[in-house]
Chains A and B, each alone.
Chain A
Amino acid sequence: MEPVLVADDVQKSYGDTVALGGVSLSVGEGEVVALIGPNGAGKTTFTRCLTGTTVPDGGGVRLFGDPPGSADTDRLGLLPQAFNPPDRLTARELVAYYGGLFDESLDPEAVLADVGIDADDDTWYADLSGGQQRRVCVAATLVNDPDLLFLDEPTTGIDPAGRRSLWALLERLAEAGTTIFLTTHYMAEAERLADRVGLLAAGEIVEMGPPDELIATYGGASRLVVETDAGPDAFADSRFEVRADDGGLAFEGVAPTDIGDVVRDLDARGVSFEALSWSEPDLEDVYLTLTGERFEEDATEPTLTAATGGEP
C-alpha cells in the first residue's frame, strides 16, 4: 500500500538559518504521526512544506502520490498554527463558510457538536474564549471530512476537559481511517493519539517510533520521590540508585512492589519523610532525555544521527 504522505529529505533555510536540514517521513493510511520538539525546531515549517504553503529548498513531498500543489484538496484538512478566521461570523457561519469551499461537506451543526460547540449560539468568533475559538477552528478543519489531516498544535489554549474530548474525537477519526499528522507541545497528547512520535530538533528528526518503544528506550526507569531533608549519601549502600531531587530524594528503578522495601529501609535508617510519590517514565522524559542529550552533544560532539522516517 502506497503511503498517504511522503516527505523525502525536505530542506528549508531562511537566510543563514537552517529551518529543516533534510527531514524524511512516510505516513501510511489511517496512521497518526505526531511531531514534538522545542520551539523553533522547525515543526511548523515542516508542516507548511507538507501542505505546500512553503516551498522547500530541496527534497520533495507527495500527498496521495502527488506534489502538494496538485493534491486533491477535497481530501485535505489543515489547521494552521496561530490561525484566526474572519472574526465577525458566528461559529455556525464560519464552519458553513469553510464547508462551502469544498465539493462536499458535512453538516456544520454536527461538526460543531463533535467539538463541543453549540451551533445555535449567535456569538461572533471574536467574542468566544480562546479555547472555544480553537475548537471552532478544528470544526472548520473537519467540515470537509478530510482523509488526511494536518493539525499544527490543535489543542493549544483549550482547557484539559476540552482537550480530552478533542482527543476522543481525533481517535474516532483515526479509527475510521483518517490519516493524521499533528504537531504538539503536549506530550500526553502525542502519547495518547500517535502511532508514532517524531522528535524534531534543530531541523532534524532526532528519533521516531511508537511512544511505548521510545519510552522504553529513552524514558529511563520508574522512580520513587521521597520528600525528606536527608541527603543521598546516607543511601550509598542501597540497592537502588538514589539521587538528590527537588526537596528530597529520588530512588530510580523502583517497581510498585518495591515501595514497601524502600519505606522499611527509610525507617531502618531513621530517615523521616513527609510524602512519597511514584511515577512511571513517559514521553516527557523521552523528550527531556533526547533534547538534553542533543544539547549536551552540541557543545562537545556532532549531534545525534537524524532518523529518516520509518515504516508506515
Chain B
Amino acid sequence: MSAIGRIRAESYAAWYSFVRRRTAMFFTFFFPVLLIAIFGALVQTQSGQGGLFTEPAGYYVPGYLAVVVLFTPLSRVGSTVARHREDNRFEKLATTPLSRAEWLGAHTLVNVVIIGIASVIILAFILLLTGATLSLSWLLVPFIALAVVLFCGLGAILGRITDSADGVIAASNAIALPLLFLSATFVQPDLLPSWFAPVMDLSPLTYFARGVRAATFSGQGAYLDLGVLLVLAVAFFVVGALAIPRTD
C-alpha cells in the first residue's frame, strides 16, 4: 500500500467522522454565515465616516473567510489529536505503516475540502446579503488551501501541548480570537497604533487577509503574500507533523 493509499484510508475515516456529526457540520457552516448576517447585513457599513466597518463590503471578505480558515482547522485538528491520544488511537497507529505526516496530511485534506465548501457558501452569502462587489480570483483557491494547511499544523501543535479536547478548544479560542481581529481582517490597520504594525506582520493570518483582499477587492499584487503563506504553511505542517504524539 502506497502513502497515497494510507492517506486515502485515513481521510475516509476522518471525513465520515466529520460528516456524521451533524451538529459539528451545521455549526461549521452556520457560524461564518451568522457573522455575515450580523456584520455584513445587520450592521450597515457607513463609508467615509471613520470607525469600524466603514469600508466597502468587499473589504471584509478576507475577514469572513478567515473565520472558517482559522477557527475550524485549529479546533478540529487540535481536538482530534487530543481525542486520538485519550482513546489510545495513536498507540494503535504507531504499529501501522501510517506516518505522522501522512496522518496530518489526511486530516488536512479533509479540512481543505470542508473549508473549501464553507468558503463557497460564505462567498455566496456575501454576494447575496451585503451586495459586495468582488473579483472571484483563482488565487482564492491556493490562499484558502495554504491557510488551512498552516492552521492544521498549528492545531496539531496545540493538540500536543494541551492535555484534553477541552483544553484545545480553550487554547484555540485564546489564539484565534486576537489573530482574527488583529490581522488586517475586520479592523483596518490604520485604526491601530503605528507601533502595532510590525506585530501584525507576525501573524500568519495577515498574509492571508492581505493576499485575499488584493486578489478579490483592491486589485493589488497578491503573489508576495501567497509566497509568505506558502513558506509558513510548509513550516507549520512540518512542525505539526513532528508534534503528533507517537509515544507517551
Contact = CB atoms under 8 A, between A and B. Distances in A.
Interface of A: 48, 51-55, 73-74, 76-89, 93-94, 96-104, 124, 140, 144, 150
Nearest to A71: B95
Contacts of A124: 20
Given A51-B95, A53-B248, A83 B9 contact: no
A84 B87 contact: yes
Contacts, number: 97
B88 A84 contact: yes
B91 A78 contact: yes
B248 A86 contact: no
Contacts of A81: 88
A212 B17 CA distance: 47
B247 A55 contact: yes
B9 A97 contact: yes
A101 B16 contact: no
Given A54-B247, A100-B1, A100-B8, A78 B92 contact: yes
B12 A100 contact: yes
A96 B17 CA distance: 15
Given A93-B16, A101-B6, A101-B9, A84 B95 contact: no
Contacts of A87: 17
Nearest to B13: A97
Contacts of A99: 9
B104 to A, nearest CB: 15
A86 B13 contact: yes
Interface of B: 1, 5-6, 8-10, 12-14, 16-17, 20-21, 87-98, 246-248
A88 B21 contact: yes
B17 A101 contact: no
Contacts of A83: 87-89, 91-92
A67 to B, nearest CB: 13
Contact of A102 (B88, B90, B96): B96
A254 B98 CA distance: 57
Contact of B247 (A53, A74, A102): A53
Given A88-B17, A88-B20, A82 B88 contact: yes
Given A77-B95, A83-B88, A97-B13, A53 B20 contact: no
Nearest to A75: B95
B91 A48 contact: yes
A100 B88 contact: no
A76 B95 CA distance: 6
A48 B88 CA distance: 11
A7 to B, nearest CB: 16
B12 to A, nearest CB: 6
A276 to B, nearest CB: 47
B247 A101 contact: no
B202 to A, nearest CB: 35
Contacts of A89: 13, 16-17
Given A74-B97, A85-B87, A101 B20 contact: no
A80 B248 contact: no
A216 B180 CA distance: 71
B97 A101 contact: yes
30 contacts: A48-B91, A48-B247, A51-B91, A51-B95, A52-B94, A52-B95, A53-B91, A53-B247, A54-B248, A55-B247, A78-B92, A80-B91, A81-B88, A82-B88, A84-B87, A85-B89, A86-B89, A88-B17, A89-B16, A89-B17, A93-B16, A97-B10, A97-B13, A98-B9, A98-B92, A100-B12, A101-B1, A101-B93, A101-B97, A103-B1
